[in-house]
Amino acid sequence: MDKVSGYSLNKIDFLTHPLLAEHRKYLAQKLELIPIESSNTLNIEEVDIILAEEIKPISESEFDKLQKKVFDHLPRP
């Protein structure tokens, strides 16, 4: 996870790193995979399962764009 500021995490790092849990919740909300109001009741493991299925098929360049949106919006861990 050398380049958090440069958004170059791979999908596995992004989906497993504990400090990025809020980033994953935000991304799941933005992708409309979970409603904003239920993000407080879902635990991060549930969010991660939902998010992993959604981002598995996307390319690394598309994933980099998603990460940039997330990291630009939320404070960095």
| pLDDT given at position 75 | 64
Q: Which two tokens stand for residue 57?
A: 């098929």
Please write down the HEC assignment for all residues of 19-60: HHHHHHHHHHHHCCCCCHHHCCCCCHHHHHHHHHHHHCCCCH
Residue 6 lies in a domain: no
**Residue 5, domain member (yes or no):** no
Domain count, the chain: 1
Residue 68 has what pLDDT?
81
Range of the domain at 37: 11-73
* 3 within domain boundaries: no
Decide if 42 is inside a domain: yes
pLDDT tens-place string over residues 43-62: 889 888 888 888 888 888 88
If one compares 40 and 45, the residue with the highest pLDDT of the two is 45
CA distance 5 to 71: 8
- Report if residue 33 sits inside a domain: yes
The answer to whether 72 and 7 are in contact (CB under 8 A) is no
